[in-house]
Amino acid sequence: MFRSFIVIFLCIVIAGVSFIIWNTNSTGEKLDLEKSSGDLEKDIESLEALEKNLNSVSSDEEGHEHNSEGFGPMEKYQDRDGTIKFFFGSIMMENTDIFIQSFKTEVISNALFAKSNPDKDKVALDLINKISRKGNLKDISIKKGKAPLRVSSDEYSITLWYKDGKRAEIPLSFSSYSSTHHPDSGSVYVIETSPLEIIKNIEGSLK
């Protein structure tokens, strides 16, 4: 009797572990967006305080600006994973400046000027609301392995989880550049997928 109980218990444990592994492989590593966006907001505040201190202490006579790219609290957002946190943090915060900075310059410019509205800040906010489905975005899962929508080695598959229980899967591709101010700080990644394409993929895969 005791042996049967042990066997049943082990089967339940194995089944549970197998489900966790399967679920992680299916949707990827889940990211708590509320915590991630809160961390980003604190990092931005730290950067602003750092830049204010640098400007007041180390400004040269010609008034040259001190660019903090690649250093301090924002260094963690330079790689692909960091760029994803930076991007989705901007959506949770509805911060259009950070949202725009998440993309390759040509990509976001084309998306903003695809609309006739001269107020590009409002255009960016509209893009944010369409991605979040008017503030309903809750969490995301990041998958770096092979996925149905994956077409290149520089592309991640992201599952978006919404508060109403629905989810959507989108591919995100990236491109990198070296900082002109700090060439030794490594590559900085930005999103190469158009926000218009992201919205199209959300609407097409929502379930």
CA distance 46 to 40: 10
CA distance 179 to 176: 10
pLDDT of residue 138: 93
* Comparison of pLDDT for 196 and 150, the residue scoring more: 196
Q: Give residue 181's pLDDT band: very low, low, confident or very high (50, 70, 90).
A: low
User: Does 103 have pLDDT greater than 90?
Assistant: yes
User: Does 61 have pLDDT greater than 50?
Assistant: no
Q: Model-level pTM?
A: 0.73
CA distance 9 to 108: 54
pLDDT of residue 21: 40
User: Does 185 have pLDDT greater than 90?
Assistant: no
Backbone angle region of 133, left / alpha / beta, with phi > 0 → left and psi within -120 to 50 → alpha: left
Q: Who's near 164: CB < 8 A, 6+ residues apart?
A: 136
User: Does 54 have pLDDT greater than 50?
Assistant: yes
Q: Give residue 50's pLDDT band: very low, low, confident or very high (50, 70, 90).
A: low
pLDDT of residue 72: 57
pLDDT of residue 198: 98
pLDDT (average), residues 173-187: 70
Half-sphere exposure of residue 206: CA atoms within 13 angstroms, side-chain side: 17
pLDDT of residue 44: 87
| Domains observed in the chain | 29-49+69-205 (3.10.450.50)
pLDDT (average), residues 10-19: 40
pLDDT of residue 30: 86
Q: What is the overall mean pLDDT for the chain? A: 78
